[in-house]
A and B are shown apart, each in its own frame.
Chain A
């Protein structure tokens, strides 16, 4: 099975390469893709197509369908975005049969924007009015391109915090680190005991981006003149040097993330902490079942003592794909799905979706203690972190390629050739090259 999935994934990657040329052709590349869609209600009943990979979402949509006989939504499914669904969206947009609504992660949205794949829904009055319901920075993730444009409705966010083994820290008399300097000190003590404080992931570049996000870095910028790329800004270099020094001192393990090896390192208590997003809570309980009750959650370590800044890892939006004939009904549904208490509650129960609205952060299911974490109300920590995320981090239009390039460099750095900072420099150069090869204007 493992083998088959791997083969399948590489098949997708290969074909994505083959197809990239076709899918990219024929669309205007550039920042911003035109005026807001005309947002008038349809005359009669409407059926919308909605593609999402969120498990169990059809149950939530059924709730909508029973209440709204005139706007019926048909759920379609597929693999996670980067594992095939995004490529499918581009193919379908080219063929003119894309679904009305699609799930798109924040870091992929700019790609759809420059490929002219998503509708600007700022023309829908409900959308603009809904802005204040959302966590501010989450809204910024969908308000891209020209001023006032909106390219999706935020669905979930991934504010980051520190998952740590409370039992091990207590038993060994090590204080919970609140700054990254203290984190290094704790790492040395833990290493002396034979463990690792955390695992540095060579492949989760969006986790690293979350660290940069927290440090106030800014990988991309976009205005009327084009895109800026700054993977090597001072904050990014600070973060890269920090982790490089932990790797050099052998204070962190370097298992490939999301593998059995990695799960096992946590499950066998070899690795003590994980700086992860809110959705990571489930990853730990599934990957390290033997450690139940030993975990707790604290704020992400800070760069300066006393600061209160967090980063974000993951999160997605519901966008109206280009060619939809019913943007009015589509946004109406998307707003219900992502702001109404009944939908958010159901999404949270079905698929552990962490809402992007300020009200959603107070859902009853998110204010209870979690058994795996010794009964701690861990979501209180994340709700606080959600308000402390730096507001204006921007993703670039070629994140898949940027992730791949940086990840290559990280893998090399972990095995001792080059540094994380070198990898960022390579990613920087390759990203600029990729943008230019797609005729996307780059400011230097």
Chain B
């Protein structure tokens, strides 16, 4: 997008600008760009395609028929089997994941937005230090924190509970960083002055004025956090022992582990994996409009 708008001068006239004002890139570079993009698209979509095809097969056909084309179409009976297996534990896992990722992502976004906003808009001693510490948090992989978290949660007897996975998911240092950058650039100080003059308290100002201005960034933060929680594997592995608390990724991992002894699980793992990526795809498609805006605005200003 930006490439088109910024390169609109001498080159444009040489190549012959189209009537609409956009530039036509030389044919060679356009084709090669398309080619590269096509290759990457295939590269990224092929595993998904394989998954879709494999999910529609019976367990026997998965290994014996062409992996990239449909055999017997059994997608829906497979889904039925999946939902019926062990009294529908898969649905429970899916629900758990939605709860961990949806609610966790929403609360994490709100907390990060508040923190980032405060860091951007209030001057107080130690502000930069706090921000640096938060930035440092971006560098620490979540995996490295899992064991210390486990020991802490053991102290307060919260392991193997909903909270063991939910509470750590509420922290998003990257979200704080993003929120600060975005708040600094998109929430004008004058506007805050005005609302203060009109008698609004700080909290009211934040929720009614600032939060709305920051909404593109919020969507970005929510998406990042949602995906991170959805795919978080190590924390549930360490924290959870009761099957009814598992998120879907971890539950499927357990099934995949049992393939040697229960071969019919192979089909269920595949169809389960397919269903477990659908929420991610849906939420991306729904929110990508905001997301692109958010990223772009943050980067340009």
Contact = CB atoms under 8 A, between A and B. Distances in A.
Interface of A: 1-5, 8, 11-12, 14-15, 18-19, 22, 49, 51, 53, 55, 76-80, 83-84, 87-88, 91-92, 94-97, 99, 258, 260, 263-264, 267, 279, 282-283, 285-287, 289-290, 351-352
Contacts of B228: none
9 contacts: A1-B51, A4-B249, A19-B147, A53-B254, A55-B262, A91-B147, A279-B260, A282-B263, A351-B262
A55 B264 CA distance: 12
Interface of B: 47, 51, 59-60, 63-64, 143-144, 146-147, 150-151, 154-155, 157, 159-160, 231, 233-234, 237-238, 241-243, 249, 252-254, 256-264, 266, 269-270, 273
B156 to A, nearest CB: 11
Nearest to A80: B257
A77 B243 contact: yes
Contacts of A95: 150-151, 154-155, 159
* Leading 5 A-B pairs by shortest Cβ distance: A286-B263, A95-B154, A76-B241, A1-B273, A289-B60
A99 B241 CA distance: 10
Contact of A91 (B157, B238, B249, B259): B238
A14 B147 CA distance: 13
B263 to A, nearest CB: 3
B150 to A, nearest CB: 6
Nearest to A49: B241
A267 B63 contact: yes
Given A5-B256, A22-B147, A88 B261 contact: no
Contacts of B51: 1
B139 to A, nearest CB: 15
Nearest to A279: B261
Nearest to A266: B63
> Which of B261, B264, B266, B269 gathers the greatest number of chain A CB atoms within 10 Å?
B261
B154 A286 contact: no
A12 B234 contact: yes
Contact of B269 (A1, A83, A84, A96): A1
B65 to A, nearest CB: 11
Residue of A53, A91, A260 ringed by the most chain B CB atoms within 10 A: A91
Given A4-B249, A18-B143, A95-B151, A79 B257 contact: yes
A286 B58 CA distance: 12
A352 B261 contact: yes
B63 A264 contact: yes
Nearest to A94: B151
Nearest to B48: A1
Contact of A76 (B63, B144, B160): B160
Given A1-B51, A22-B147, A282 B237 contact: no
A344 to B, nearest CB: 16
Nearest to A352: B261
A79 B254 contact: yes
A138 to B, nearest CB: 19
Contacts of A285: 263
Contacts of A84: 237
Contacts of B159: 92, 95, 97
Given A8-B233, A15-B146, A351 B261 contact: yes
A263 B185 CA distance: 57
A48 to B, nearest CB: 13
A8 B147 CA distance: 16
A283 B159 CA distance: 35
A258 B51 CA distance: 19
A376 B224 CA distance: 56
